[in-house]
């Protein structure tokens, strides 16, 4: 199940683990990325709190947690190669995985069609 | 309607606006103008292209001000300008340009600028955000002795090691110019001015022309595969790597030129003991700082990790220190340096290359080396 937030994060749920990243729309708006800061494995994230940071040459942008949960894995390859987050944000450029603690939070997120309509 | 589009209705456009749109610029509001942030090439590649070939910038938002002596004698205008600028205007030869700054009564910097001697008048190029304030200040301070008039022309910059080759095809005179020369030019029958300087740390030129001629020259330059259009984003990363100040960030109404590391622009003749010492706003503070040293100083900073350290970050003397001793005034990622780069202000005792200080970013203290400016050698054509 693929969901989107109005802060331009995506989340793919497989079992009770969700993979999180920034959307291709967000990556395009940010431009060339030069630095990615990921959460720590084991950290407990709260929906809406800053979970990661992506930085372009000009600016730093927070990536908010789309859902509550504990971080189970981070994409070290993305941190080592921030460019990949810009070029393939919804594939190789994923950021981290969380074990979802409250699946009902997914109900408030957008599906693909709703997100595409949202970004126009 | 979003706030952005509402605001953009009142934004000014430069004469190159249609050209920016044709070549796919992403336009953003800047200093009251709608300006290109980047083009399809993207900020990183635009930056690197300028360092390796030639980048074309629209800087028409900047202010151009002509200052002429009412007496008709240029030296009267020079003396008048020395009452607002702590630099040597009297000694600036015809066809030469110099960097300077308008100072405040408190010894801060109202604006920084370029001043060219064009024989019968001086041309001042001032920052977009300060042009109204600068014009008002000049009219008030020297309006009796001089006419002070904004010049309605476009301004484009061609920067990079390939700039001379690309521009001399259209304006052959530029091949004879050296760094900080200024020459009258004509393009397609319209008169303007070209100076060999810029804001990137590279060799290059800035060309002031009436709107139509500027657009025609920009189009002709962009037909050359060596020349790419470059946006404000790369302009900022290029000037940061070159260690050049941005007014409003690295320098402002409170920062003195001495604290900003710009003492080199204040010659002996305007300092204590010089034949034309002082006589400009804030001279008391500025001359005292020149003689005794300033309390704080602008420095280059190289963060030791990969995390960019940006403007506003507090600087600490150690990991444990509770009181900040300075702050970052500009910072980001330097594409040519392939890492984070910043400038900031520190107490003079700490503003020593080789010292280590700590910048606070998202609650963490990141070690940064104090380094000399510029971060990389400039490519100016000095001879």
Contact list, B42 vs chain A (CB under 8 Å): 31-32
Specify if B158 maps to a domain: yes
Instruction: Give the nearest chain A residue to B339 (CA atoms).
Output: A34
A15-67 pLDDT, tens digit each:
999 999 999 999 999 989 999 999 999 999 999 999 999 999 989 999 999 99
Chain-wide mean pLDDT for chain A?
Answer: 96
Among B225, B242, B259, the domain boundary falls at B242
- Tokens at residue B279, please? 């006589």
Considering only the beta carbons, identify the residue of B44, B310, B335 that sits closest to A60.
Answer: B310
User: Is B304 assigned to a binding site?
Assistant: no
Could you tell me if B301 and B159 lie in one domain? no
How many independent structural domains does chain B possess? 2
Could you tell me if B168 and B20 lie in one domain? yes
* pLDDT attached to residue B106: 98
B179-200 pLDDT, tens digit each:
999 999 999 999 999 999 999 9
* pLDDT attached to residue A120: 86
B356: domain CATH number is 2.40.30.110
Among B205, B223, B242, the domain boundary falls at B242
* pLDDT attached to residue B383: 76
Could you tell me if B55 and B204 lie in one domain? yes
Q: Do B307 and A56 touch (CB under 8 A)?
A: no
Could you tell me if B194 and B310 lie in one domain? no
Kindly tell me if the per-residue pLDDT of A110 is higher than 50. yes
Residue B200 contacts residue B215 (beta carbons within 8 Å) = no
Nearest to A63 by CA among A54, A72, A55, A71: A54
Q: Name the residue range of residue B332's domain.
A: 295-382
Q: Where are the domains of chain A?
A: 2-102
ipTM field: 0.88
Q: What is the mean pLDDT of each run of 10 residues along chain B (383 residues)?
A: 55 97 96 96 97 98 98 98 98 98 98 98 97 97 98 98 98 97 97 98 98 98 98 97 97 98 98 97 98 97 97 98 98 96 98 97 97 92 83
Could you tell me if B157 and B224 lie in one domain? yes
* pLDDT attached to residue B20: 98
Contact list, B47 vs chain A (CB under 8 Å): 57
Considering only the beta carbons, identify the residue of B42, B307, B362 that sits closest to A32.
Answer: B42
* pLDDT attached to residue B1: 40
CA distances from A16 to A13, A112, B124 (A): 7, 20, 65
Could you tell me if B56 and B157 lie in one domain? yes
Domain A2-102 has CATH 3.50.50.60: no
Considering only the beta carbons, identify the residue of A53, A55, A58 that sits closest to B233.
Answer: A58
Specify if B54 maps to a domain: yes
CA distances from A8 to A17, A62, A86 (A): 19, 11, 13
Could you tell me if B235 and B302 lie in one domain? no
Cα A30 from Cα A26, distance rounded (Å): 6
Residue B81 contacts residue B184 (beta carbons within 8 Å) = no
Chain-wide mean pLDDT for chain B?
Answer: 96
Q: Do B42 and A55 touch (CB under 8 A)?
A: no
B175: domain CATH number is 3.30.1360.120
């Amino acid at each position: 199940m693929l969901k989107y937030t109005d802060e331009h994060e995506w989340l793919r749920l497989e079992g009770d683990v969700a993979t999180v990243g920034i959307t291709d729309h967000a990556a395009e708006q940010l431009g060339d990325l030069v630095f990615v800061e990921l959460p720590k494995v084991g950290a407990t994230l709260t929906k809406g709190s800053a979970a990661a940071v992506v930085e372009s040459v000009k600016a730093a942008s927070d990536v908010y947690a789309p859902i509550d949960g504990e971080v189970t894995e981070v994409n070290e390859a993305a941190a080592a190669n921030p460019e990949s987050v810009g070029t393939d944000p919804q594939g190789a450029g994923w950021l981290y995985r969380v074990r979802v603690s409250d699946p009902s939070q997914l109900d408030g997120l957008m599906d693909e069609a709703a997100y595409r309509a949202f970004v126009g | 309607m979003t706030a952005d589009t509402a605001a953009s209705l009142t934004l000014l456009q430069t004469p190159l606006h249609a050209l920016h749109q044709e070549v796919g610029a992403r336009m953003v509001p800047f200093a009251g103008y709608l300006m290109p942030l980047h083009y399809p090439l993207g900020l990183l590649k635009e930056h690197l292209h300028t360092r390796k070939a030639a980048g074309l910038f629209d800087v028409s938002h900047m202010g151009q001000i002509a200052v002429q002596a009412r007496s008709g004698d240029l030296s009267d205008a020079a003396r008048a300008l020395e009452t607002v600028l702590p630099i040597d205007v009297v000694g600036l030869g015809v066809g030469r340009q110099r960097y300077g700054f308008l100072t405040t009564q408190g010894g801060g910097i109202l604006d920084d600028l370029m001043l060219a001697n064009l024989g019968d008048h001086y041309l001042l190029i001032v920052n977009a955000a300060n042009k109204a304030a600068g014009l008002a200040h000049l009219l008030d301070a020297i309006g009796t002795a001089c006419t002070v008039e904004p010049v309605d022309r476009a301004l484009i910059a061609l920067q990079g090691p390939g700039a001379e080759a690309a521009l001399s095809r259209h304006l052959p005179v530029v091949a004879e110019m050296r760094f900080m020369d200024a020459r009258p030019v004509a393009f397609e029958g319209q008169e303007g001015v070209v100076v060999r300087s810029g804001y990137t740390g590279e060799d290059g030129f800035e060309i002031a022309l009436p709107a139509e001629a500027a657009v025609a020259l920009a189009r002709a330059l962009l037909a050359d595969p060596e020349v790419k259009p470059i946006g404000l984003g790369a302009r900022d990363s290029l000037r940061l790597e070159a260690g050049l100040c941005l007014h409003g960030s690295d320098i402002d109404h409170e920062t003195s030129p001495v604290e900003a590391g710009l003492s080199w622009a204040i010659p002996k003749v305007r300092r204590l003991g010089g034949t034309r010492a002082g006589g400009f706003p804030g001279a008391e503070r500025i001359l005292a700082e020149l003689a005794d040293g300033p309390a704080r100083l602008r420095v280059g900073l190289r963060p030791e990790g990969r995390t960019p350290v940006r403007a506003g970050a507090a600087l600490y003397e150690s990991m444990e220190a509770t009181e900040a001793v300075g702050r970052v005034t500009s910072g980001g990622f330097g594409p040519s340096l392939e890492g984070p780069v910043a400038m900031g202000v520190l107490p003079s005792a700490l503003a020593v290359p080789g010292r280590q200080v700590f910048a606070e970013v998202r609650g963490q203290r990141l070690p940064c080396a104090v380094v000399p400016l510029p971060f990389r050698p400039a490519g100016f054509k000095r001879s």
